[in-house]
């Protein structure tokens, strides 16, 4: 087997591997985004919780200071007990005279005053003094507790650091710290695992030795920061089920991609054989899409559209028509088409004589002259319908051979229509040489009508060109009523598209025509040049 063939044979496997890796990368990216979002959500929760605790402190201490009490008597103790009862988070309140605590809600009057060291933090907003991780006695048992203490005026409030801890079950090690505002940015450990903060890290979201490092700070209210970090091992253990699901999805997508490429490759490799067998196995069939008179609201003709279906399934025209060209079977295909569609349509006695039937032909058959023999078929010469041959815009149709064939087509009484006009090479001079009767405006122009882009603005120029050459313009791909109204306003009388009917069988076409409630029972016929 040649190297190229061997390499092509490996396409499905390579596609499966690439798609599997790509899907794994996408899923991993989504997972990382989820983890980052989860870390930020925890940080936002912490900042809100910390702010709530601070507000609760102030709601207890500000009214106490407003009382103006200067001694620790029964009134002061009672006021502190009420303030603590009404508050949510403080575990104990204490009253200070100058720098010495003399009484508290937990111990009453102290035997010896409590003198605090210099504060760890001074709030830049309120001047409140804060001590972190201090050992204190909260009650008469003498048991020591770790607390965060906030002093405002003559009173302090103490809170358990667990109040501002992250919920249990987090896969991350974490550290809460206070970072001073300003250029210095000095930090003070508040709670959690000390030493996680990496001030010199090049990135706040990743560092060597850890898979996730995330740092977020509340720079507007409390100046508290949360650092979260974890290892690849911890992530894999915590989200083992997620990684297993990702692996299965990646394998499944890779397998699907490989099978798709294999199927597509098989269709391409076998299309040439299917095209040949299609002539013997009756795989080709044709449907008819109405052409509609938008001014008189009636169907006046149809376009013949080829289809292909065999034991391997359906094939798209973009697949089998190029294969027919490459196999040199265009003339055979066209003969088969005329031999099938004209008797099929002729059997529908309700279709009037002169009903316009447009048939697509290959430009190569015009250049080669093969069309000259085709148009002498009895089915064409004896047809009661007005036949139009549709050709796509081709640069070489104005060659001598092409001109001779076009002349013979017109002499045989057939009309010529330029299909998909606006996408090829035709200009005014070439249209004059072709002596065509119809221009079919490409659907890409019609699709953009309602949005008024630059491309659809060319339609009036096409209409004027058609009028100058006395050609009939037909709009392809009309899908909405709004498009029809605009086209009629631009002077285009005839349209084709799903708005007027999908491709259908000959019998269905007749039924469709009869189902239309119209004022005139006789179908109009497209005028001839």
Range 415-423 average pLDDT? 82
Helix H or strand E encompassing 129: strand 129-137
Q: Give residue 264's pLDDT band: very low, low, confident or very high (50, 70, 90).
A: low
The predicted pLDDT at position 231 comes to: 67
Q: What is the pLDDT of residues 379-392, one digit of tens each?
A: 999 999 999 999 87
For 356, other C-beta atoms within 10 Å of its C-beta total 24
- Return all residues near 515 (Cβ < 8 A) that are at least 6 apart: none
* Structural tokens at position 415: 């009309």
Q: What is the pLDDT of residues 36-48, one digit of tens each?
A: 888 888 888 888 8
Q: What is the pLDDT of residues 290-300, one digit of tens each?
A: 999 999 889 99
Range 146-161 average pLDDT? 90
Range 331-337 average pLDDT? 94
The predicted pLDDT at position 263 comes to: 60
Among residues of the chain, what percentage have pLDDT more than 90? 33
For tokens 């720079």, name the residue: 219
Range 438-467 average pLDDT? 81
Whole-angstrom Cα distance, residue 310 to residue 281? Answer: 8
For 329, other C-beta atoms within 10 Å of its C-beta total 17
74 three-class SS: helix
Whole-angstrom Cα distance, residue 99 to residue 287? Answer: 98
6 vs 74: which has the higher pLDDT: 74
Whole-angstrom Cα distance, residue 496 to residue 499? Answer: 8
* Structural tokens at position 338: 């005329």
Q: Give residue 124's pLDDT band: very low, low, confident or very high (50, 70, 90).
A: confident
Count of alpha carbons within 13 Å of 143, Cβ hemisphere only? 3
Range 224-250 average pLDDT? 73
Q: What is the pLDDT of residues 171-223, one digit of tens each?
A: 788 888 888 887 667 888 888 888 888 764 444 444 444 567 888 888 887 78
Separation in Å, CA 471 to CA 102, 415, 437, 456, 464: 106, 11, 5, 20, 10
187 three-class SS: strand
Among residues of the chain, what percentage have pLDDT more than 70? 80
Least confident span in 59-73, 244-258, 366-380: 244-258
425 vs 442: which has the higher pLDDT: 442
Q: Where does 116-223 show beta strands of DSSP type E?
A: 121-122, 129-137, 144-152, 155-159, 173-179, 187-192, 212-217
330 vs 430: which has the higher pLDDT: 330
Least confident span in 70-74, 327-331, 456-460: 456-460
Distance of CA 220 to the CA centre of its chain: 36
Separation in Å, CA 450 to CA 92, 442, 490: 72, 15, 13
* Structural tokens at position 317: 């025209």
* Structural tokens at position 12: 């499905």
Range 355-368 average pLDDT? 91
The predicted pLDDT at position 379 comes to: 92
The predicted pLDDT at position 291 comes to: 95
Q: Give residue 155's pLDDT band: very low, low, confident or very high (50, 70, 90).
A: very high
Question: Comparing C-alpha atoms, which of 242, 239, 124 is closest to residue 184?
Answer: 124
Whole-angstrom Cα distance, residue 233 to residue 12? Answer: 34
Q: Give residue 261's pLDDT band: very low, low, confident or very high (50, 70, 90).
A: low
The whole model's pTM is what? 0.51
* Structural tokens at position 391: 């050709």
Whole-angstrom Cα distance, residue 310 to residue 65? Answer: 92
The predicted pLDDT at position 523 comes to: 47
pLDDT at residue 303 tops 90: yes
Taking all residues of the chain, what is their mean pLDDT, rounded to a whole number? 81
pLDDT at residue 459 tops 70: yes
pLDDT at residue 77 tops 90: yes
Whole-angstrom Cα distance, residue 298 to residue 476? Answer: 16
Q: What is the pLDDT of residues 197-208, one digit of tens each?
A: 876 444 444 444
Q: Give residue 23's pLDDT band: very low, low, confident or very high (50, 70, 90).
A: confident
Q: Give residue 69's pLDDT band: very low, low, confident or very high (50, 70, 90).
A: very high
Whole-angstrom Cα distance, residue 36 to residue 31? Answer: 9
**Do residues 110 and 101 lie in contact, with contact meaning Cβ atoms separated by under 8 Å?**
yes
Give per-residue burial for 381-419: e unless 16+ CB within 10 Å, then b: eebebbbbbbbbbbeebbeeebbebbebbeebebbbbbb
The predicted pLDDT at position 140 comes to: 53
Beta bridge partners of 199: none
Q: Give residue 75's pLDDT band: very low, low, confident or very high (50, 70, 90).
A: very high
* Structural tokens at position 497: 């598209």
């Amino acid at each position: 087997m040649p190297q190229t063939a061997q390499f092509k044979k490996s396409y499905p496997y390579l596609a499966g591997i690439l798609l599997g890796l790509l899907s794994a990368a996408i899923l991993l990216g989504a997972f990382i985004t989820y983890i980052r979002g989860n870390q930020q959500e925890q940080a936002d929760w912490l900042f809100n919780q910390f702010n709530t605790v601070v507000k609760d402190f102030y709601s207890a201490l500000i009214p106490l200071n407003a009382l103006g009490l200067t001694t620790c008597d029964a009134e002061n103790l009672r006021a502190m007990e009420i303030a603590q009862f009404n508050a949510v988070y403080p575990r104990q309140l204490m009253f200070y005279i100058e720098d010495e605590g003399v009484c508290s809600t937990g111990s009453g009057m102290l035997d010896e005053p409590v003198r605090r060291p210099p504060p760890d933090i001074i709030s830049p907003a309120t001047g409140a003094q804060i001590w972190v991780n201090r050992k204190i006695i909260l009650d008469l048992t003498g048991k020591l507790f770790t607390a965060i203490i906030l002093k405002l005026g003559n009173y302090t409030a103490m809170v358990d650091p667990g109040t501002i801890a992250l919920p249990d079950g987090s896969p991350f090690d974490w550290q809460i710290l206070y970072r001073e505002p300003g250029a210095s940015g000095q930090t003070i450990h508040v709670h959690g695992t000390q030493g996680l903060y990496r001030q010199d890290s090049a990135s706040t979201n990743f560092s060597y030795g850890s898979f996730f490092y995330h740092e977020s700070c509340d720079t507007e209210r409390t100046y508290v920061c949360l650092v979260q970090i974890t290892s690849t091992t911890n992530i894999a253990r915590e989200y083992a089920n997620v990684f297993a699901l990702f692996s299965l999805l990646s394998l499944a997508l890779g397998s699907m991609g490989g099978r798709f490429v294999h199927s597509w490759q098989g269709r391409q490799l076998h299309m040439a054989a299917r095209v040949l067998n299609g002539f013997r196995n009756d795989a080709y069939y044709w449907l008819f899409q109405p052409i509609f008179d938008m001014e008189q609201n009636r169907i006046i003709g149809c376009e013949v559209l080829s289809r292909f279906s065999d034991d391997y399934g359906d094939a798209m025209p973009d697949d089998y028509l190029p294969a027919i060209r490459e196999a040199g079977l265009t003339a055979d295909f066209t003969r088969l088409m005329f031999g099938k569609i004209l008797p099929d349509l002729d059997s529908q006695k309700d279709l009037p004589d002169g009903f316009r039937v447009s048939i697509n032909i290959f430009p190569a058959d015009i250049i080669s002259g093969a069309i000259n023999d085709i148009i002498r078929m009895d089915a064409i010469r004896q047809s009661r319908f007005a036949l139009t041959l549709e050709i796509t815009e081709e640069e070489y149709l104005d060659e001598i051979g092409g001109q001779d064939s076009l002349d013979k087509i017109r002499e045989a009484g057939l009309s010529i229509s330029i299909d998909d006009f606006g996408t090829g090479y035709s200009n005014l001079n070439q249209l004059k040489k072709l002596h065509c009767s119809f221009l079919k405006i490409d659907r890409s122009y019609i699709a953009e009508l309602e949005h008024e882009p630059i491309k659809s603005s060319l339609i009036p120029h096409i209409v004027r060109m058609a009028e100058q050459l006395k050609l009939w313009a037909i709009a392809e791909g009309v899908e909405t009523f709004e498009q029809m109204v605009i086209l009629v306003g631009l002077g285009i009388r005839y349209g084709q598209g799903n708005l007027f009917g999908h491709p259908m069988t000959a019998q269905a076409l007749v039924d469709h025509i009869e189902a239309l409630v119209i004022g005139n029972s006789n179908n109009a016929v497209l005028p001839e040049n």
